[in-house]
């Protein structure tokens, strides 16, 4: 069974050699009922060994009982064996559970101590902030399969910017998407094909440019977008002229809900993309400088009125805005506004964490959440994972890859908190 939390569980038992020897002599079936064949062979002619093993079995039962294990193993299912060199070990139902065993006897007394050092359970750690009322997570039914949780297509990367494509696609994978296709310029495909083993890397024609263009878009639309439940556009794309042409054409004719990040936002701002022509739900994930470019404001003006800027842009353009920062704001076109409650998660202040967030929100869209719910969930899970990384690694030096590893446990902790709240 899983261990509930960090700590040490202990079981202790004391008996007398004479008592166990007397029972064994008077009740022959006692020995065969309590001890395995290997134990009987080792204990033959040594009543003190029978006594210490009896104490060991009792000690292990007490230890497992303190952990809430039910049903407890029978005496024969707890077997004391001797490792090479003579040190005792214990098997429970034939498995080594990591229980350390100490046996001793002195004159007529026999004693056993069983100790189990419990590793920290990341799923049992407390949340860094209460789950917000607006938080919704997609269902994870027991009979689900990879098709149940959606396909995310990621359009990302350019020569010199392979990391963004990797982090974004892995953010989708760690966010729970069933399938991920990361589509990159042919020039950088060998790098992604080597790096990505859990997601499917696909090369797009690039004419040797090292960046996407209209030729890339044709293949993306033909081979990949028909399979997409959600699309992520922008991380590491660069802003070459051909790339801008392709991104604008894509954003103004979307076949599915999309997350737009990084260079996708910069291109949209430079070219004046009309989001209302997109044809699908759109989630934008700008940092303050990118928000300023979109809204034609100085960065300091954005920071001075984060809620207002995000709310107005969302309402005027019909998109969900995720304005990133120390107090990330999520604004919906209908006026709903959410501010993340996590504070002081400075470990997220490093390159690549935004790419992870874009992929994570893409996974939640692909699983069936609407744009606002996917954005709130993505921001909350992302911040909770960042807080966990900060607790483990400190405020400086954490990497986006550390964040990827923390996402599944963060989402599960939040899911359990929501389930507990629903039961109340």
Q: How far apart are CA 384 and CA 135, in angstroms?
A: 13
Residue where a domain stops, chosen among 77, 104, 120: 120
Name the residue with tokens 């899911």: 415
Q: Are residues 53 and 161 in the same domain?
A: no
Kindly state whether residue 1 falls inside one of the protein's structural domains. Answer: no
For residue 160, the SS3 value is: coil
Cα 90 from Cα 327, distance rounded (Å) = 52
How far apart are alpha carbons 230 and 224 in whole angstroms?
A: 11
- Count of alpha carbons within 13 Å of 212, Cβ hemisphere only? 37
52 and 138 in a single domain? The answer is no
DSSP for 342-394? ----GGG-STTHHHHHHHHHHHHHHTT--HHHHHHHHHHHHHHHHHHHHHHH-
Please tell me the pTM assigned to this model.
0.77
Q: Which of 120, 152, 187 finishes a domain?
A: 120
CATH code of residue 76? 3.90.470.20
Do 142 and 43 lie in one domain? The reply is: no
Task: Please indicate, yes or no, if residue 407 is contained in any of the structural domains.
Answer: yes
Same domain, 112 and 161: no
- Tell whether 181 is covered by a domain: yes
Q: What domain count does the chain have?
A: 2
H or E segment at 201?
strand 200-204
Tell me: do 282 and 394 sit in the same domain: yes
* 198 in any annotated domain: yes
User: In the structure encoding, which two tokens stand for residue 357, read together?
Assistant: 């967030």
Which domain CATH number covers 311? 3.40.1190.20
Within-domain flag for 81: yes
Pair (99, 132) in one structural domain:
no
The pLDDT profile of the chain, 424 residues, written as one tens digit per residue, is 344 445 789 999 999 999 999 999 999 899 999 999 999 999 999 999 999 999 999 999 999 999 888 899 999 999 999 887 778 999 999 999 989 999 999 999 999 999 998 777 778 788 889 999 999 999 999 999 999 999 999 999 999 999 999 999 999 999 999 999 999 999 999 999 999 889 999 999 999 999 999 999 999 999 999 999 999 999 999 999 999 999 999 999 999 999 999 999 999 999 999 999 999 999 999 999 999 999 999 999 999 999 999 999 999 999 999 999 999 999 999 999 999 999 999 999 999 999 999 999 999 999 999 999 999 999 999 999 999 999 999 999 999 999 999 999 999 999 999 998 887 6
127 lies in the same domain as 80: no
Do 116 and 17 sit in the same domain of this protein? yes
Residue 409 and residue 358 share a domain = yes
Q: Which domain holds residue 218?
A: 123-423
Q: Is 106 in the same domain as 134? A: no
> Looking at 91, 120, 149, which one is the last position of a domain?
120
Give the pair of three-digit tokens for residue 200.
Answer: 């499917």
In a domain, 319, yes or no: yes
Q: How many helices (H) and strands (E) does the chain have?
A: 15, 14
In this structure, the strands spanning 329-331 and 320-323 are antiparallel
In 95-150, DSSP assigns E strands to 100-106, 109-118
Could you tell me if 176 and 234 lie in one domain?
A: yes
- By CB neighbour count within 10 A (0-12 exposed, 13-18 middle, 19+ buried), where does 387 fall? buried
Residue 2 in any domain: the answer is no
Residues 138 and 47 occupy one common structural domain: no
Q: Is residue 31 part of a domain?
A: yes
């Amino acid at each position: 069974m899983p261990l509930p939390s960090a700590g040490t569980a202990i079981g202790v038992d004391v008996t007398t050699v004479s008592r166990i020897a007397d029972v064994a002599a008077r009740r022959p079936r006692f020995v065969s009922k309590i001890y395995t064949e290997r134990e009987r062979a080792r204990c033959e002619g040594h009543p003190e060994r029978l006594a210490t093993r009896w104490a060991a079995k009792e000690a292990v039962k007490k230890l497992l009982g303190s952990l809430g294990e039910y049903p407890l193993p029978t005496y024969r299912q707890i077997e004391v064996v001797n490792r090479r060199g003579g040190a005792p070990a214990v098997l429970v139902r034939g498995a080594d559970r990591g229980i350390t065993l100490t046996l001793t006897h002195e004159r007529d007394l026999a004693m056993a101590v069983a100790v189990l050092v419990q590793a920290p359970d990341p799923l049992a750690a407390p949340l860094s902030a209460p789950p917000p009322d607006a938080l919704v997570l997609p269902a994870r039914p027991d009979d689900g399969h990879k098709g149940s949780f959606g396909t995310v297509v990621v359009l990302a990367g350019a020569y010199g910017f392979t990391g963004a494509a990797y982090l974004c696609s892995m953010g989708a994978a760690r966010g729970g998407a069933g399938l991920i296709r990361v589509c990159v310029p042919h020039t950088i495909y060998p790098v992604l094909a080597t790096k990505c083993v859990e997601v499917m890397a696909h090369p797009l024609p690039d004419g040797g440019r090292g960046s996407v263009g209209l030729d890339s878009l044709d293949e993306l639309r033909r081979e990949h977008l028909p399979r997409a439940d959600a699309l992520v556009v922008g991380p590491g794309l660069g802003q070459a002229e051909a790339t801008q042409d392709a991104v604008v054409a894509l954003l103004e004719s979307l076949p599915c809900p999309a997350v737009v990040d990084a260079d996708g936002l910069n291109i949209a701002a430079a070219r004046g993309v009309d989001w209302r022509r997109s044809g699908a739900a759109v989630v934008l994930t700008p940092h303050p400088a990118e928000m300023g470019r979109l809204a034609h404001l100085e960065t300091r003006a954005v920071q001075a009125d984060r809620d207002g800027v995000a709310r107005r842009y969302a309402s005027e353009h019909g998109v969900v805005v995720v304005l990133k920062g120390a107090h990330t704001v999520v604004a919906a076109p209908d006026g709903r506004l959410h501010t993340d409650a996590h504070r002081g998660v400075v470990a997220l202040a490093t390159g690549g964490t935004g790419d992870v967030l874009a992929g994570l929100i893409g996974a939640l869209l692909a699983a069936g959440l609407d744009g606002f719910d996917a954005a709130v969930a993505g921001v909350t899970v992302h911040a909770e994972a960042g807080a966990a990384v900060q607790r483990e690694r400190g405020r400086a030096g954490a990497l986006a890859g550390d964040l990827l590893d923390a996402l599944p446990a963060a989402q599960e902790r939040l899911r359990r908190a929501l389930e507990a709240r629903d039961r109340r």
